[in-house]
Amino acid sequence: KVGFAAGKKLGCAAVRSRTKRLLREAYRHMQHELRTDVGILLIGRAGLAAGKMQDAAVELRSLARRAKIFADGGTPHRTGEQ
């Protein structure tokens, strides 16, 4: 299971929504690479809404590597690489 959160300190509703949307999209692109036996809570932080989806994806990939939640033991598969 996965959850997405963005607190009111982050900004107005539009900023919070964009933050959660970026997190959801970044997760969607790599969900098949992650273990299914863990619960994940992704909390938006300041500055994320100003960035691009690629930035969120890079950060999420880095966090997943540190947390060792990749399905194959910690090494992510990148599309287009062998």
pLDDT digit string, tens, across residues 36-55: 999 999 999 998 889 899 99
**Tens digit of each residue's pLDDT (9 = 90 or more) over 57-72:** 999 999 999 999 998 8
Q: Is 69 exposed, middle or buried (0-12, 13-18, 19+ CB in 10 A)?
A: middle
Residue 79 has pLDDT above 60, yes or no: no
Q: Look at residue 77 in the predicted model and tell me its pLDDT.
A: 56
More confident residue, 80 or 61: 61
Encoding tokens for residue 41? Answer: 């809570």
Q: Look at residue 81 in the predicted model and tell me its pLDDT.
A: 45
Q: Look at residue 72 in the predicted model and tell me its pLDDT.
A: 85
φ, ψ of residue 38 in degrees (nearest 5)? -120, 150
